[in-house]
Amino acid sequence: MKAINRRQAFALGGGFVMLTLMPMAADAEVTNDAAKWIEKFTAGKQPAKGKISLDLPEIAENGNTVPLSINIESPMTAVSYVTDVMIIADGNPNAGVATLSFTPLSGKAEASIRIRLAATQNVVAIAKMSDGSLFTEQKTVKVTIGGCGG
Amino acid sequence: MADKPRIKLPKEATKGEVIQIKTLVSHVMESGQRKDAQGKTIPRKIINKFACEFNGKPVFSCALEPAISANPYIQFDAKLDEAGTFKFSWTDDDGTVITAEEKIALKA
């Protein structure tokens, strides 16, 4: 066995630090029942990427009120429109955030709400079209102060 | 009882125009996650549903979860084909419903 030299030792040490910091990394792991929510909404169908533009701040100083805007590309006519959009947060105590229901009378599939985020996590939106197709988009939000009280 | 909800939309619009509606209602939106000084969980009390109708037809609605901020602000759009009345309703966990109405006219 080859003895590790100084450079390799440093690399190893660095890796170790990275590992210990992992739970705080931006790609927060799913800590709640998000999968169940998605399963219920999509009924097992795999949503495609695209059509949705999800607008969230990259860094939220106050997790108690994080502005969220969503816009889904759709003609919004009686034959082709967005029916429902589910928004979930995968690091909150409960994954559910809101389910928006549009109609052709909405004119545009666009809405803004303010949400609470407990910690740095991913916010996922899944849109259901009137023809049954599904689209998804997700954004990671870094949260400085959690918004679910203590 | 909560204050009167605040709603912002144009007074009149042209036929076929898509207008933006902004609503805000005062509500604590108690998440059911927080604990009081004695360490007891404060029971959940939120607005769990918002709906908007125009002349009796649904325009937009949403189911809300505890992850919605206090004093829920909701902004959405509506396409206008005729003059009429928008009806808004916010449903509380305890069953109370806050309602509001706004009239809109077509531009001559």
- pLDDT 10s digits, A31-83: 788 999 999 999 989 999 989 999 999 999 888 999 999 999 999 999 999 99
Instruction: Determine the residue of chain A that is closest to B39 in CA distance.
Output: A150
Q: What mean pLDDT do residues A17-28 have?
A: 45
- Cβ–Cβ contact B78 with A under 8 A: yes
Name the pTM for this structure. 0.82
Which residues have CB under 8 Å from A144's CB, separation 6+? A59, A60, A61, A62, A63
pLDDT band with cut points at 50, 70 and 90 for residue B35: confident
Q: Given a cut of 90, is residue A30 above it in pLDDT?
A: no
Q: Given a cut of 60, is residue B65 above it in pLDDT?
A: yes
Which range among A11-15, A101-105, A144-148, B84-88 shows the weakest confidence by mean pLDDT?
A: A11-15
Q: What mean pLDDT do residues A116-125 have?
A: 93
- Which residues of A have a CB under 8 Å from any CB of B? 64-66, 76, 89, 92-94, 96-108, 110-117, 147-150
Which has more confidence, A147 or B80?
Answer: B80
Indicate which of A33, A100, A117, A121 best probes the interface with B, i.e. most B CBs within 10 Å of its own CB. Answer: A100
pLDDT at A41: 93
Q: Given a cut of 50, is residue B41 above it in pLDDT?
A: yes
Nearest by CB to B68, which of A98, A104, A106?
A98
| Residues A117 and A146 sit within 8 Å (Cβ to Cβ) | yes
Indicate which of B79, B87, B91 best probes the interface with A, i.e. most A CBs within 10 Å of its own CB. Answer: B79
Kindly provide the b/e burial profile for residues A55-93, where b requires at least 16 CB atoms within 10 angstroms of the residue's own CB: ebeeebeebbbbebebbbebebeeeebbbbbbbbbbbbb
Nearest by CB to B62, which of A92, A94, A100?
A100
Instruction: Determine the residue of chain B that is closest to A71 in CA distance.
Output: B76
Terminal alpha carbon distance of chain B: 40
Nearest by CB to B68, which of A106, A113, A150?
A113
Which residues have CB under 8 Å from A142's CB, separation 6+? A26, A58, A59, A60, A120
